Amino acid sequence: MDFNVKKLASDAGIFFTRAIQFTGEKFGQVEKTELDAHFENLLSRADSTKNWTEKIFRQTEVLLQPNPSSRIEEFLYEKLDRTVPSRPNNEELLGHYMQDAAKDFGPGTPYGSTLIKVGDCERRLGSVQREFLQTSAISFLTPLRNFLEGDWRTISKERRLLENRRLDLDSCKARLKKAKLAESKAAAVPDFQETRPRNYVLSASASAAEHELRVAQTEFDRQAEVTRLLLEGISSTHVNHLRCLHEFVEAQTAYYKQCHLHMQDLQKELDSSNGDVFPNAFAGNPGHSMASGGSSPLDPASAVETDTLKIEEVQAPATGTRKAKVLYDYDAADTSELSLLADELITVYTVPGMDSDWLVGERGNQKGKVPVTYLELLS
């Protein structure tokens, strides 16, 4: 117990001395040992590496898992060293719902059979995403986390020790300076009654301060070298993170490539199976024409063939007219076209010689060309 009390008192004294030195430096009242420019550059580079690595790590977590509740759950399971329960992701859940709906509507119906195909594709996309998340977590997130929770904590600990050693060194310098000043004053104005004892005490005090300074300088130099080696290791950290970044890009490339292939296969399958049901597959998607290599319905080149048709002379056929729901607002480019408002119902039909991306639409006494991609054919 006596030893603990002495140690506690010693630690409290050291802390108090450092606090005085630190406060004096902040107010510019005492001198401060400055680190060399190279060391300061290493410190600045290390701080920058830590800050940006932390931001990249956090944002990558958000990218891979947008749900904050799921991120918290994964963090807790990781800290408890337990395996995170396997749950279906959004794509897999959507695919499951679509396939269940198809069973209810009837897998033999056009809608039911399409739901089965799309649902199966969504489940494959979910599987691809799950593999991408696992690969990214291992190859990219884990190295960044190891740096923040391992290497950086070691660097921070050694930097704190270096700062304490510097405060001790500067405190010893101040004590030595004070002892030298008192000794010089005593030598200039000697006390004839107590000359020897007083000078002896002052000289001994200066000698003790010099010894403490040498010890503090040695400890500071040793700690500075240890910290310098750790800070220079940041270059190796950059090389390691560069390799991890390449692996992350490769994982993303493979993920998006597989998703693109799955969607292309689905698109071809739906085009072949729904060609007889819908004259223009995916008619509700305004971007489908361009995505599949066709021209935009708003491109003037796609309407050249219809320019020769006189809309006012076109008559609705006896059969083949259909109802269509307008998906988006559309402003007519000229008098041959019909302006549309979202959610309204119009009658549409096609005539020989008209471009497949356009139909003739009628609303009451109004008639004109309308782009197919702005419509949802109902019957």
Domain ranges of the chain: 31-276, 322-378
Q: What are the two backbone dihedrals, phi and then psi, of residue 294, each rounded to the nearest 5 degrees?
A: -85, 175
96, burial (CB in 10 Å: exposed 0-12, middle 13-18, buried 19+): middle
Handedness of CA 263, 265, 267, 273 (dihedral sign): negative
Query: How far, rounded to the nearest angstrom, does the alpha carbon of residue 145 sit from its chain's CA centroid?
Result: 13
Q: Which fold has domain 322-378?
A: SH3 type barrels. (2.30.30)
pTM of the predicted model as reported, rounded to 2 decimal places: 0.61
Q: Is there a contact between 291 and 373 (Cβ–Cβ < 8 Å)?
A: no
Specify the CATH number of the domain 31-276. 1.20.1270.60
Q: What residue type is 129 in one-letter code?
A: Q
* Alpha-carbon span 104 to 66, nearest angstrom: 32
Instruction: Write the CA distances from 335 to 154, 195, 200, 303, 363, integer angstroms.
Output: 75, 117, 113, 13, 15
- With residue 53 as reference, give the H or E element that holds it: helix 37-64
Smallest Cα–Cα separation from 326: which of 349, 346, 352? 346
E-state strands within 335-378: 345-349, 358-363, 366-371, 375-377
pLDDT in tens, the chain (379 residues): 455 666 666 666 666 677 766 676 666 666 778 888 999 999 999 999 999 999 999 999 999 887 777 767 766 777 777 776 778 888 999 999 999 999 999 988 889 999 999 999 999 999 999 999 999 999 999 999 999 999 999 999 999 999 888 888 888 888 888 877 776 776 666 555 555 555 555 566 778 888 888 998 999 999 999 999 999 999 999 999 999 999 999 999 999 999 999 999 999 988 877 554 544 444 444 444 444 444 444 444 444 444 456 666 677 776 778 899 999 999 998 888 999 999 999 999 888 878 888 899 999 888 999 999 899 988 6
